[in-house]
Amino acid sequence: MAKALNGTKENPYLAHLPPDQRRTGSSTPPTVKEPLFGFLPRKVKGDQVRRAMEGDVNPFTKRPLSAQYKKILDSRKKLPVFTQMDEFYNTFSENQVIVMVGETGSGKTTQIPQFVAYSDLPHTKGKLIACTQPRRVAAMSVAKRVADEMDVQLGKHVGYSIRFEDMTEPGTTFLKYMTDGMLLREAMNDPELQRYSTIILDEAHERTLATDILMGLLKDVAKRRKDLKLIVMSATLDAMKFQKYFGNVSSKDSGSAPLFKVPGRTHPVEVFYTQEPEPDYVEAAIRTVLMIHRAEDPGDILLFLTGEEEIEDACRKIKAEADDLMNQDPEAVGPLTCIPLYSSLPPQQQQRIFDPAPPPRVEGGAPGRKVVVSTNIAETSLTIDGIVYVVDPGFSKQKVYNPRIRVESLLVSPISKASAQQRAGRAGRTRPGKCFRLYTEKDFMTELEEQTHPEILRSNLANTVLELVKLGIKDLVHFDYVDAPAPETLMRALELLNYLAALDDEGNLTALGSIMAEFPLDPQMSKMLIVSPEFNCSNEILTIVAMLSVPNVFIRPPNARREADLAKAALTVPDGDHLTLLNVFNSYKQNIHDKNWAWTNYLSARALAQADNVRTQLERIMERFDIELVTTQDQRKFYENIRKALVCGYFMQVAHKEGEKGSYLTVKDNQVVALHPSCGLETQPEWVIFNEFALTTRPYLRTVTEVRPEWLLEMAPSYFDLTTFPDGETKRALVRVQNKKMGKLPRAIDGQDQRAKKKQKKS
């Protein structure tokens, strides 16, 4: 039974004080101001909390509360969640798991964790409350806001934890905002998550890979740890699914976790559909933007398109046509600025979306208008105030995974209803707005999926499977997924991990696999990094891995392609793109004091700095496992050793040249591919390993390095076991290599191959 904070022996609030300072056994009210007097952990009522919040002393720090605190408190009281505090405490006190629905503007992300703090009193027990976010910026900015609201310094009682930045103070921080991926990492080393009293999964409806895995883990942990509470916060449409999923955590629950619902605070948005389907959505979008500009009241426009090129193109066209309109009728049509927005834009240029709309061209003339043309980034990650009109063609680029050929690629696909709703909502942030959907109402009702498929169904799961095995989940097929991935996707992941020797034939984690899981990398990369000291090139592989983990460093402006290509050629290593990446990074470090070096060489300084950061992080992990950092002293072997180490990780991503036209076949999967035009190889070697299979205008291999076939046989004998290898030209080439290696004379191909050859001739 929980005891109240009233000065009895069990008073956990005083446990940190020396015994003589504890007011034990006394029935007289405390002489010191104690804002949390009488608080029973997890039995707290709304009126108690409100009284504590209204006091003069910070209940958590015992310091006097500032005037700023009072001011923020007044604005907090106006939030919809705040008015439902009593209901929240009733639900929270009585249930281990609750699902909460809080629409945009309800204040759930900032308020609920604070409410929980008053109930859990985590600071008295050395525990923490965690609130996960899918994005780093959100974790950081919300933590800052909540620290202000609680009148504490960010990083003390309230902090955040994201990759590369831990803004928490052990022993002091009791409320921690963090990325979902970060909590998943923590779970790998503390599967019971003992540090936490309550875990809040925010934005669960986004269904990121990490949130989905956390839901499965936490459901299980909650069954074992009855003291752990969970709050799953989501948008309306998904709530029921989560309620059912968490329904059987406690035996007394009747198959459905309770729902706590808080309305949002947004303005109405009127939605319009087209009468007929639009054959060309970009053209229709441009037309609609111009129609709004001509005919609608002042207010900024947000247009959703799918990618960089499409956006830049549309911006040019909108600008040109809007200028025409204004010149034809300067009285009626105001000036228009068109601002592109996508993630690979430098942050400074992304800031332009917050610029005000242009003023009228002449005094008293038609007002100006701002049009933001954006990818999905404006759907969740970035909020632009002042948007009144949204134009939604109904498409976005989405990741899809094909386990059959093991290829992850981006495809332009129709969005979901939930996504369309989210987009429309962007028009109602500051005042009532309008949303123009460039598809018919019927298509909306019948063609669009309710929800975007969760990421777990659209991804290669090699990494996730390794993490799960490290977490002690043996039976991956029967893991309690919210949505189970395709069995074939799991099979592919297990197969890859087995070939990499991260898992043994029974699916158990090997010592190597255990170390691999510690690296925030794809298993192929952690494998080659771990084995690289054997080839005397761990310094170099570390750099290559870091470079492969950040966005493309090569910049190619449309108006300076030739110059950019020349700059790149000067840094190119002809044996392979991986080696070029190494060379670029080393040159960057050598010229680190020349601030213009990256710019003059058409390289992204931001991506290079990021690579440096990643490299440092990985280096620390290597140190922890005593993986040496070494460099080959024999210059003649320098590149060869690196290429051998690359094979140790990427032997399943090999292509063999077939014919003379530069066409390649991927080994075993037999996909016809070409080297990407950005590839820097000076010849077309017979054997290459590749980092990426890209499905764009046609299938391409990106980031390619030449390898020798005898290395394949040597480094990955089980994968290249010729007795089980599928017949074909690739196998015949490998047989020739093997025969030569074994000192045999070149001889006629064996019977099996004869048959294959005959078959090939026929077709």
Give yes or no for residue 700 binding DNA (CB under 7 A). Answer: yes
For DNA, which is the closer residue by CB, 211 or 243?
A: 211
Closest CA to 707 of 637, 758, 636, 656: 656
Choose, by CB under 7 A, the member of 163, 261, 453, 606 that binds DNA. Answer: 163
* Least distance between DNA and beta carbon 532 (Å): 19
For DNA, which is the closer residue by CB, 54 or 190?
A: 190
Choose, by CB under 7 A, the member of 87, 103, 220, 565 that binds DNA. Answer: 565
With 0-12 / 13-18 / 19 or more C-beta atoms within 10 angstroms meaning exposed / middle / buried, residue 501 is: middle
If phi > 0 it is left, if psi is from -120 to 50 it is alpha, else beta; for residue 469 that is: alpha
* Least distance between DNA and beta carbon 371 (Å): 17
Give yes or no for residue 136 binding DNA (CB under 7 A). Answer: yes
DSSP character at residue 574: T
Q: Which stretch binds DNA (CB under 7 A): 427-435, 502-510, 638-646, 690-698?
A: 690-698
For DNA, which is the closer residue by CB, 53 or 582?
A: 582
For DNA, which is the closer residue by CB, 288 or 463?
A: 463
Question: Looking up tokens 């049509």, which residue turns up?
Answer: 333
For the segment 337-396, give every residue that binds DNA (CB under 7 A).
342-344, 375-377, 381, 396
For DNA, which is the closer residue by CB, 103 or 565?
A: 565
Choose, by CB under 7 A, the member of 16, 78, 431, 561 that binds DNA. Answer: 561
For DNA, which is the closer residue by CB, 49 or 210?
A: 210
- Tell me how far apart the alpha carbons of residues 433 and 271 are, in angstroms, rounded to a whole number: 9
Give yes or no for residue 137 binding DNA (CB under 7 A). Answer: yes
- Tell me how far apart the alpha carbons of residues 303 and 393 are, in angstroms, rounded to a whole number: 8
Q: Are 618 and 545 spatial neighbours (Cβ–Cβ below 8 Å)?
A: yes
Helix (H) or strand (E) holding 261: strand 259-262
DSSP character at residue 352: G
For the segment 570-609, give every residue that binds DNA (CB under 7 A).
none
Strands in 263-315 per DSSP E? 269-273, 300-304
Burial 255-280 (b: 16+ CB within 10 A, else e): eebbebebebebeebebeeeeeebee
CA 682 to chain centre: 36
For DNA, which is the closer residue by CB, 224 or 620?
A: 620
- Tell me how far apart the alpha carbons of residues 340 and 664 are, in angstroms, rounded to a whole number: 37
Give yes or no for residue 482 binding DNA (CB under 7 A). Answer: no
Q: Which stretch binds DNA (CB under 7 A): 218-226, 618-626, 671-679, 745-753?
A: 671-679
Choose, by CB under 7 A, the member of 556, 708, 732, 757 that binds DNA. Answer: 556
For DNA, which is the closer residue by CB, 410 or 630?
A: 410
Choose, by CB under 7 A, the member of 549, 653, 703, 730 that binds DNA. Answer: 549
Number of residues this chain uses to bind DNA (CB under 7 A): 48
- Residues 6 or more apart in contact with residue 560 via CB below 8 angstroms: 602
**Phi–psi pair at 340, nearest 5 degrees:** -80, 150
For DNA, which is the closer residue by CB, 137 or 570?
A: 137
Q: How many CB atoms lie within 10 A of CB 241?
A: 17
CA 72 to chain centre: 32
* Least distance between DNA and beta carbon 173 (Å): 16
Give yes or no for residue 109 binding DNA (CB under 7 A). Answer: no
Closest CA to 469 of 531, 513, 436: 513
Give yes or no for residue 258 binding DNA (CB under 7 A). Answer: no
Choose, by CB under 7 A, the member of 554, 651, 693, 711 that binds DNA. Answer: 554
Give yes or no for residue 256 binding DNA (CB under 7 A). Answer: no
Q: Which stretch binds DNA (CB under 7 A): 249-257, 363-371, 664-672, 695-703?
A: 695-703
CA 632 to chain centre: 36
For the segment 458-477, give every residue that binds DNA (CB under 7 A).
463
Q: Which stretch binds DNA (CB under 7 A): 289-297, 549-557, 579-587, 710-718?
A: 549-557
Choose, by CB under 7 A, the member of 397, 668, 708, 736 that binds DNA. Answer: 397
How would you classify the pairing of strands 97-102 and 259-262? parallel
Give yes or no for residue 552 binding DNA (CB under 7 A). Answer: yes
Q: Which stretch binds DNA (CB under 7 A): 74-82, 86-94, 336-344, 529-537?
A: 336-344
Give yes or no for residue 410 binding DNA (CB under 7 A). Answer: yes
Sign of the Cα torsion 38, 44, 47, 53 reads positive
* Least distance between DNA and beta carbon 431 (Å): 27
For the segment 189-218, give every residue that binds DNA (CB under 7 A).
208, 210
Q: How many CB atoms lie within 10 A of CB 427?
A: 29
With 0-12 / 13-18 / 19 or more C-beta atoms within 10 angstroms meaning exposed / middle / buried, residue 56 is: exposed
Give yes or no for residue 188 binding DNA (CB under 7 A). Answer: no
For the segment 512-531, give every residue that binds DNA (CB under 7 A).
520-521
The CA-atom distances, in angstroms, between 375 and each of 305, 343, 411, 496 are: 5, 8, 14, 33
Q: Extract the tokens encoding 144.
A: 């800052």
Question: Looking up tokens 């890209």, which residue turns up?
Answer: 694
For DNA, which is the closer residue by CB, 395 or 436?
A: 395
How would you classify the pairing of strands 175-179 and 259-262? unpaired
Q: Are 689 and 650 spatial neighbours (Cβ–Cβ below 8 Å)?
A: yes
3-state secondary structure of 68: helix
* Least distance between DNA and beta carbon 295 (Å): 30
- Tell me how far apart the alpha carbons of residues 617 and 299 are, in angstroms, rounded to a whole number: 45
Choose, by CB under 7 A, the member of 694, 713, 734, 737 that binds DNA. Answer: 694
Helix (H) or strand (E) holding 691: strand 687-695
Residues 295-334: x where in contact with DNA by CB under 7 A, - otherwise, as a string? -----------xxxx-------------------------
For DNA, which is the closer residue by CB, 378 or 689?
A: 378
* Least distance between DNA and beta carbon 370 (Å): 19
* Least distance between DNA and beta carbon 448 (Å): 17
Q: Are 427 and 387 spatial neighbours (Cβ–Cβ below 8 Å)?
A: yes
Residues 496-515: x where in contact with DNA by CB under 7 A, - otherwise, as a string? --------------------
Which residues would be at the binding site for DNA (CB under 7 A)? 134-137, 162-164, 179-182, 185, 208, 210, 306-309, 342-344, 375-377, 381, 396-399, 410, 463, 520-521, 549, 551-552, 554, 556, 558, 561, 565, 676-678, 694, 696-697, 700
